[in-house]
């Protein structure tokens, strides 16, 4: 008899900061840990380094013209921001939906989450 390990598919919850790119909603979704690492802001700034393919997410002042609003998801478990223009400008594919670990760092301007798009996603949707 040979046993086979069942491994459930789909995204798993984690206490690590994560950022999910949802192709259908064309948004980034931050989990609670990622939101807390940024200081629980209402608005964020998005950054991109073309050479290293790193996405930066940082809190924004309310009156910043580049600020994007975060919307709270069901039960405050996640926080979403629309990224259609950002993804188009930097030619980052929206599909398939996928999730990455985010690294929390401190900068001179405050906290920042960094997502390395060269890394293997921790989850990819079967689209």
Residue 53: pLDDT over 70: yes
CA pair distance 33, 107, nearest whole angstrom = 18
Q: Tell me the pLDDT band of 7, cut-offs 50, 70 and 90.
A: confident
Confidence of residue 10 (pLDDT cuts 50, 70, 90): low
71: confidence class by pLDDT, cuts 50, 70, 90: very high
Place 126 in a pLDDT band, splitting at 50, 70 and 90. confident
Whether residue 11 is predicted with pLDDT greater than 70 in this model: the reply is no
Residue 109 is assigned to a structural domain of this protein: yes
Q: Is residue 2 part of a domain?
A: no
Give the range of the structural domain holding residue 75, as residue numbers without chain letter: 18-124
Instruction: Tell whether 4 is covered by a domain.
Output: no
Q: How many domains does the chain have?
A: 1
Residues 6+ apart with CB under 8 A from 97: 20, 21, 22, 23, 24, 124, 125, 127
Specify if 12 maps to a domain: no
Provide the pLDDT confidence category of residue 93 given band limits of 50, 70 and 90: very high
Predicted local confidence at residue 85, as pLDDT: 97
d(CA 19, CA 49): 17
Residue 4 has pLDDT above 90, yes or no: no
Give the residue, 76 or 10, on which the prediction is more confident: 76
Q: Report if residue 8 sits inside a domain.
A: no
Residue 1, domain member (yes or no)? no
pLDDT at 23: 94
Residue among 109, 28, 120 nearest 61 (CA): 109
Structure tokens at 105: 């760092």
Looking at per-residue confidence, does 37 or 76 come out higher? 37
């Amino acid at each position: 008899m040979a046993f086979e390990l069942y491994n459930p598919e789909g995204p798993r919850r984690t206490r690590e900061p994560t950022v999910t790119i949802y192709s259908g909603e064309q948004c980034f979704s931050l989990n609670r840990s990622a939101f807390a690492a940024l200081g629980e802001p209402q608005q964020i700034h998005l950054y991109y380094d073309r050479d290293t393919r790193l996405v930066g997410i940082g809190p924004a002042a309310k009156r910043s013209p580049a600020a994007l609003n975060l919307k709270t998801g069901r039960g405050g478990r996640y926080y979403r921001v629309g990224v259609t223009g950002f993804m188009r400008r930097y030619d980052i594919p929206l599909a398939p939906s996928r999730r990455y670990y985010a690294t929390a760092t401190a900068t001179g301007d405050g906290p920042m989450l960094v997502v390395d798009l060269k890394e293997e996603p921790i989850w990819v949707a079967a689209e």
